[in-house]
Structure 1
Amino acid sequence: MLYRTCAIIIRSMDYGEGNKIVTLLTEGGGKAGVIIRGAKKARSRHGSLAQPFTYGEFVYFKGNSGGLGTLNHGEIMESHHLLRERLELAAYASYAAELTDRSLQEDESDPFLYAQLKACFEALQADKDPQIVSHVYEMKILQRAGYDPQLDNCVSCDSEDAPFMLSVGSGGVLCRRCAHRDPYAIRLSDGTLKVLRLFRRMDLRRLGSIALKPETKEEVKKAMRRLLDAHLGLQLKSRNFLDQLDKYEI
């Protein structure tokens, strides 16, 4: 059967002497593996279609027995070349792509996630703060996985009285009176809590300019890491590289 779809390349790997296998996140929100024959050859007309983070239209044939498809034709709509040329952007784009690939099962489909990843790459390409873009996208991943944190009131007693502690095991924040329920809960400053609430409501397609103080960014990063590690538990090579990059920049 012949398929035609707009898609984003979230993974690309060598296959044989001259071919590549790409994983597409299609506009329908599902993943598709496609062989691009001859993509590694210097004069290949499809070589640029095998680059990570590329957004384009792909036409591929896939047999009824399943397995990988074979590219027939493709057209690049946005190459996102800056996401491959600049080290920091490449690191964040790789993280978003790997997080998507690992959190979405082969038989799942999520058009909203496709739209959010597309917007994520566009925001990175537009030179918006990559850490903020990344955290908003992480929040979208958590929400689609069913782990949307409750941040407006205490998960135990429903109190709206600050200060709050973030309890990943409880699925949200605990007030001062209920904080004893989780000895591993971490304190959230008012600024950090406001930012996390904003990220919950935000759609990456409407992301504006957000500027945060360094200490707030560090607290947000710590909170998001806690949530991701507790609920998804994914070991990602791209995240390890991001951590190394942070240390190098310091």
Structure 2
Amino acid sequence: MIQIDKISKKYKTADVFSVSNLDLNISENEIFGLLGPNGAGKTTLISILCSLVKPTSGTFSINGLNYQQNKNELKQLIGIVPQEYALYPTLTAFENLKYFGSMYGLHGKTLKNRINQYLEILGLSQFANKKIDTFSGGMKRRINLIASILHEPKVLFLDEPTVGVDVQSKNVIIEFLQNLNKKGTTIIYTSHHLNEAETFCTRVAIIDHGKLITKGKPADLISNHEGAHNLEDVFLRLTGKALRDHA
């Protein structure tokens, strides 16, 4: 589904590459985790794959479409759930979703039915006509998610989709994403919640300093590192325990 060939990215004001000569293939219908410390290059890589940031070198394709020749068609295949809320706070939940759905070319009864369907599934129907700025963090995360899937994308990019949410919202979001994946959506997921990634992802890649360190099924990575009991043990062993604060 996604083929990444020697992708590199160096921002104009940066001293080092955010992503460096990275090769990676992601199969159709995977739940693939991109894991790494702060500043490892995860968000930059996702931004490149979503055609929001132009790579310095290298190329990639999604579902056989090369970003250089098929950027517009490629964008129609994907959905993006950013780490920050991408919602208008003074509009209601329904108004937000109607606006974003219309940007994907959805209108009328089709759009209304999809909005109502997803609001129901994610437990938000009773809040459809409430303004977003009255919502809790978990409710905003769920609306953010709905906005990204109204057009039923083949590939869904998730940047920290459960950060800062309550346990109940996190459970609902993960269960919803698993069902979406079972229906055929390929999911690319980044998170610092390694226990969540261990159970949620079919495969993961750990990147650091913009480079691919390792990849594989979580269970295989754990068994291949002697003394590791979970994915967090593997992660710390490969990326170190030093703080990764950056500004």
**TM over 0.5, shorter chain:** no
Structure 1 length as normaliser, TM-score?
0.29
Structure having the higher Rg: 1
Structure 2 length as normaliser, TM-score?
0.29
